[in-house]
Structure 1
Amino acid sequence: MEKNRTSQTNNSTGANSGGRSLGRLILQLRRLERRPQTFGSAGPLTPSEIHTIEAIGTEGGILMSELAGRLEITKGAVTQLIVRLEAKDLVARSPHPEDSRGTLISLTAKGKEAHTAHEEVHRAFYEQLQEQLTEQEIEVFDTCIDKLVTFLKK
């Protein structure tokens, strides 16, 4: 009976600790989400702006509706982001060649530079992580992140 009570206490303590850790992670992510960063010559960009650039990608034009789907936001929100990015000369709009109702969004040279700089930030972060974790810990980390993202999408 005493062993069972100890096991329950340990599980409860582990859950509380995990909850606190998750809470700290979410708070830190929220702080990062508000802080603009500079990527190449693009100047300061908010996380939503650089993630829009990332979602557009460097391979060519993307429809506004497809971009909204990739970012999981409304077309109106995408339009607002595109207006800001156009003002910074990071994206360009062009008419769709086959559908007169469609507008394609693509990165300018400056936008592509910001995209490359953002990828470099991610690569450098992952390299730093690899220096601090074993290969097995990285596999567990990746699995946990995938599961957390799936859980948060529910």
Structure 2
Amino acid sequence: MATFSTTQLSLYTSNPYSNAFPPDPISLSKAQQLKEPSHPRCLQYVKTVVPKGGNRRVRRLIKSRVKRNSQAFGERCKKYRKEVLRKRRIYRDLQEKRDGLIARAAAKVAAQVAAKYPRALSEAEAESDVEGEKKTMPEEAIKGKLKKKLEEFNLKMKRKSTQQTPT
């Protein structure tokens, strides 16, 4: 047969264990502190039965409760994992769609530039593969173009710096 311990619990407090062990007053003498407290004169306290953990049946009940809780936890984990995978799929699809839109926009801009500047397109074609051989400009021509671009850039920067008014 199972053994039970009893504790006194308060009916009128929010925490049932708050009045189970009232704090000892400091002003009492040692003899008064060791003396048993008198029982309450009203029905403020009720005795409750708390089973001890040594009982096999109680342990079995607790074990089944733990098992049920772990199964519920596993189901919650599966649900969460499914949700995460679904969101990843959605994000990947959106990323692919965004990449496609960017590629289309870049192709559109390239077509507009080619229509606006046909000479630039013909130079790019001249530098591309022609019958397996690459037609490249000589190094001196490339250096000359780069120097010219650098000089234009420097002139532009000088103009900008002179046009700015001090604040």
TM-score, with structure 1 as normaliser: 0.30
Select the structure with the greater relative contact order (CA < 8 A; seq sep ≥ 6): 1
> Could you say which structure has the higher helix fraction?
1
User: Higher Cα Rg: structure 1 or 2?
Assistant: 2
TM-score, with structure 2 as normaliser: 0.28
